Chains A and B, each alone.
Chain A
């Protein structure tokens, strides 16, 4: 993080509107800064406002008479804890009890930013959410002052109440109606200074934790929508395989089968239960034509990628080269909750329920697929059972809508685990050629040329915006290290494979490979991997997190043969992180990461416990993708079919010891959801290299 960024928060101002309602309801536009004075109430459509001010694009806070504080969130909860983080921001500024704050997910809107991605939810909501709640608080205090005929400044707020000096209290709910009529507040509507924070920065448990541990939390497949019957789709054995013919007589005659309809992806069966649906699917007699990749397997894809890597320039005269070529396999997103969508498509309107990172795009695309105008399509956003980028796409929701339309009935479509693993989406395979040139003990040039499979199959421009476009600046161009002349370029191979941005996108591969090379450069120069990084890192915040893990993780401590330590750092999303991993690779085919220490500087950490969870998850992503989890392509088909052969880490592969150090900061929050993946991946690869004396090149290593 740049030092100059740290004072950014206080300069930002957010315009707040009051909405006409019987209860106190205030709204903050999302994603726009204005120079309007805090607490003022400009007319809608002020020229300085970047958005035009319909309620649709706002973050809206309502205080109900029952003393609930409700903020309908235009983001999706996927396990990253965004609803808890927003509840913390709201409760902080409102002086509400966290338990009195509800953060339901908003239906798809018509305007504004409703995308969840790019690790930007906390940073984009931090200003508007706090200003929103501070404004509501000022009005509630003003309303109480009028009721009690006391100076507003003599009142304070706590536990979702206004409290008078004599001890009288009024709940926010009891003040809501009169606060809604307050035009001019008697106290400033100004968010607290960081020094007054009692919730922000304090470890907070998830607000939905009890629902999650009792089975009450509802995911799409758990909903009961009238008449929506279980639906599955018979899909081709190969990627993009086409239906030649189907004989559905036997399947259609089975008990409990309601409909059999063709869809672009295969043949859908609607039945009384998923048991009946799977049985009927398996009774379909289908002839498939092989997909367009049927002649292509891993070896062919790898050689095409290798050939597509741009040629690096000539290294500086007289320099010594440290070079490596790295390969990464395709990786499934594999969220625990397979893609599921409920669709009820009628002649003149449609209603869809599913977990979506891009519900506005989804609504528009679904509307056009079923021939309705977007205004006739309602999309309800549900919590997701994981995503890792998968729910940027809405393939299953489109499919559910098409099936509902064809079958003329509501459906609850579920992709099987085989569907999910074999028909994508996946992180693209990639090939990297990295070269560090050193001279007189210093790196004087660093080149990273790469190629990956282009994401084109069924991807909209908006979804693609979460993926670094081909030939865009590479992460190494940000100049993490003082490596002299930095160069990078990327090539692409077009293949009809359903791909999707995967947590940390290209950084998870590119930066991991770069961190391996950094270790090899240090070795080549006879320097320690941490000491070398310390002297070459440009940003002192990155140096600080590296120092933290080196100290806390006892870098350089002696370990038995076959064990090793590895470090790596990463900087992105306005944040930085370091990871120190220890591995037991006594059996190199069955290594175990035994200990992981991370340190992160994300600016203000709204909820340190949530941040720790994100880094914990990113660590398991690194362990899995570096050591064991990938997809093979055999003649146009994905070989793996479930967690039986897609070797995601289990408990026995997770570190026995995991600790996170969060650097103190009052700076603006950066992103953290994806941050840990590249550092964890690099650290695990470097630990494996040190433990085994090998140079890791092809990932996952045991594949």
Chain B
């Protein structure tokens, strides 16, 4: 079985896995990093949204071989130790989460958006495709705006 190394949440990891194994199952079933959630397996619901070299990805549609020697960040790696990322802080301030299942993906999508677009417009936020079945969208928008204001006052 081939072996792949990549940096996961700041630490180097090596896994033996089939080349085409989706990163989602590498994370969840081999590395027991369960923040990224399965919701569809086809990149549509985006509950697994994480970062690859700082860019948003859906690990359910990214093969492990394409992550070799790159940097993967999941929700578990977004905070700096006990210091939460401003997006996570804003999520707490706005009490966004209901069932919470999609929220790791929502937060990672928001963090990726703010990295590229520090002052997003409503239209920018509207382009986030992540499904929230509980319907927390209004609070997600509020939290993104709050985090944007904090990051770039």
Is B truly associated with A?
A: yes
Q: Which residues of A contact B (CB under 8 A)?
A: 78-81, 205-206, 208-219, 221-222, 224, 230, 255, 272-275, 278, 334-338, 383-388, 414, 416-417, 609, 613, 616-621, 642-644, 648-652, 654-656, 658
Known pairs A215-B35, A337-B101; A609 contacts B95 (CB<8 A): yes
Bound-state Cα–Cα, A334 to B103, Å? 16
A213 touches B91 (CB 8 A): yes
Question: Across the two chains, which residue of chain B brings its CB closest to A206?
Answer: B95
* Dominant secondary structure at the B interface: loop
> Nearest CB to that of A215 among chain B residues?
B35
A209 neighbours in B (Cβ, 8 Å) = 91-92, 95, 97
Q: Which of B21, B84, B125 contacts A275 (CB 8 A)?
A: B21
Question: Do A78 and B138 touch across chains, with their CB atoms under 8 A apart?
Answer: no
The 0/1 profile, CB within 8 Å of A marked 1, for residues 80-113 of chain B is: 0000100010011001111111111001000000
Between A and B, 14 residue pairs with Cβ closer than 8 Å are A205-B92, A216-B35, A221-B34, A273-B30, A336-B102, A336-B132, A336-B133, A384-B99, A387-B99, A620-B132, A620-B135, A643-B39, A644-B44, A654-B137
A174 to B138, CA, bound (A): 44
Residues B104 and A215 in contact, CB atoms below 8 Å apart: yes
Contact across chains for B42 and A273 when beta carbons are under 8 A apart: no
Q: How far is the CA of A336 from the CA of B133 in the complex (A)?
A: 6
**When the two chains form their complex, are residues A338 and B138 in contact, meaning their CB atoms are under 8 A apart?**
no
Please determine whether B44 and A215 come into contact, CB atoms closer than 8 angstroms.
Answer: no
Q: Across the interface, which residues of B come within 8 angstroms of A613, CB to CB?
A: 95, 98, 134, 136, 139
Residue of B45, B74, B97, B129 ringed by the most chain A CB atoms within 10 A: B97
Q: Given A214-B79, A221-B38, A617-B135, A79–B25 Cβ distance below 8 Å?
A: no
* A80, A275, A336: the one within 8 Å of B131 (CB): A336
Cα–Cα distance between A651 and B138 once the two chains are bound (Å) = 8
Is there contact, CB below 8 Å, between B79 and A417?
Answer: no
- CB of B68 within 8 A of chain A? no
The answer to whether A616 and B135 touch (CB under 8 A), given A215-B34, A274-B28, is yes
Pairs A-B, 6 closest by C-beta atoms? A215-B35, A620-B135, A79-B99, A385-B101, A654-B137, A212-B100
Give B contacts to A, CB under 8 Å. Answer: 1, 17-18, 21-22, 25-26, 28-30, 32, 34-42, 44-45, 47, 74-76, 78-79, 84, 88, 91-92, 95-104, 107, 122, 125-141
Task: Say how far A274's CB is from chain B's closest CB, in angstroms.
Answer: 5
Cross-chain contact A336 with B37 (CB below 8 angstroms): yes
- Taking A417-B45, A643-B131 as contacts, is the C-beta distance between A658 and B138 under 8 angstroms? yes
Instruction: Provide the bound-state CA to CA distance between A658 and B137, in Å.
Output: 10
Tell me whether A642 and B84 are in contact (CB under 8 A): no
- Whether B133 lies near A648 (C-beta < 8 A) is yes
Across the interface, name the chain A residue whose C-beta is closest to B104. Answer: A215
Q: How far is the CA of A337 from the CA of B38 in the complex (A)?
A: 7
Inter-subunit contact A416/B41 (CB<8 Å): yes
> Which A residues lie within 8 Å of B95 (CB)?
205-206, 209, 609, 613
Q: Which residues of B contact A654 (CB under 8 A)?
A: 135, 137-138, 141
Given contacts A205-B92, A275-B22, contact A643 B45 (CB under 8 A): yes
Which residue of A has the minimal Cβ distance to B142? A658
Add 6 more A-B contacts to A337-B37, A383-B99, A644-B42 (CB < 8 A): A79-B99, A79-B100, A219-B101, A274-B38, A337-B101, A651-B140
User: Are A213 and B134 in touch, CB under 8 angstroms?
Assistant: no
CA A78 to CA B76, docked complex, whole Å: 22
A655 to B137, CA, bound (A): 8
A78 CA to B127 CA, complexed, in Å? 27
CB distance A218 to B40 under 8 Å? Answer: no
Beta-carbon contact of A273 and B102 below 8 Å: no
Q: Cα distance A385–B22 when bound, in Å?
A: 22
A651 and B128 in contact, given A336-B47, A386-B99, A658-B138 (Cβ under 8 angstroms) = yes
A642–B44 touching, CB < 8 Å: yes
| Contact assessment for A81 and B18 in the assembled complex, using a CB-CB cutoff below 8 Å | no
- Nearest CB of B to A635, in Å: 24
Residues of the B chain whose Cβ atoms lie less than 8 Å from the Cβ of A334: 133
Q: Give A218 to B26 CA distance when docked, in angstroms.
A: 18
Q: Is the CB of A648 within 8 A of B131?
A: yes
| Alpha-carbon distance A272/B26, docked complex (angstroms) | 11
Residues of B within 8 Å of A616, CB to CB, are 135-136, 138-139
What is the bound-complex CA distance between A336 and B40, given in angstroms? Answer: 9
A651 touches B97 (CB 8 A): no
Question: Which residue on A lies nearest to B1, using beta carbons?
Answer: A255
Given A643-B44, A648-B131, verify A338-B39 contact (CB < 8 Å): yes
A205, B94: Cα distance in complex, Å: 8
Residues in A neighbouring B122, C-beta threshold 8 A: 656
Measured CB to CB, the closest approach of chain A to B16, in angstroms, equals 11
The answer to whether A206 and B97 touch across the interface, beta carbons within 8 angstroms, is: yes
Least CB distance from A473 to B in Å reads 30
Assess the A650–B136 pair: CB atoms within 8 A.
no
Chain B min CB distance to A269 (Å): 14
* Residue from A214, A387, A650 with most neighbouring chain B CB atoms (10 Å): A214
Chain A hits for B35, CB < 8 A = 214-216
Most buried by A among B47, B95, B131: B95
Question: Which residue, of B78, B126, B127, has the highest number of chain A Cβ atoms within 10 A?
Answer: B126
Measured between alpha carbons, how far is A222 from B38 in the docked complex, in Å? 10
Contacts of A609 in B (CB 8 A): 95
Report yes or no: B103 in contact with A212, Cβ–Cβ below 8 A.
Answer: yes
B135 and A619 contact, CB distance less than 8 A:
yes
B18:A275 contact, CB within 8 angstroms: yes
Q: Are A215 and B101 in contact (CB under 8 A)?
A: no
Picked from B18, B34, B41, B129, the residue with its CB within 8 Å of the CB of A650 is B129
Q: Give which listed residue, B44, B45, B107, B141, contacts A651 with CB less than 8 A.
A: B141
Contact indicator B28/A79 (Cβ below 8 Å): no
Q: Which of A81, A384, A642 has the most CB of B within 10 A?
A: A642
The answer to whether A274 touches B25, judged by C-beta atoms less than 8 angstroms apart, is yes
Determine the distance from Cα of A219 to Cα of B74 in the docked complex, in whole angstroms: 17
Instruction: Give the contacting residue for B126; candidates A78, A274, A644, A652; CB below 8 A.
Output: A652
Inter-chain contact B25/A275, CB cutoff 8 Å: yes
**What residue in chain A is nearest B79 (Cβ atoms)?**
A214
Q: Determine the chain A residues whose CB is within 8 A of the CB of B138 once the complex forms.
A: 616, 654-655, 658
Q: Is the CB of B126 within 8 A of A336?
A: no
Which residues on the B side are within 8 Å of A643 (C-beta)?
39-40, 44-45, 131
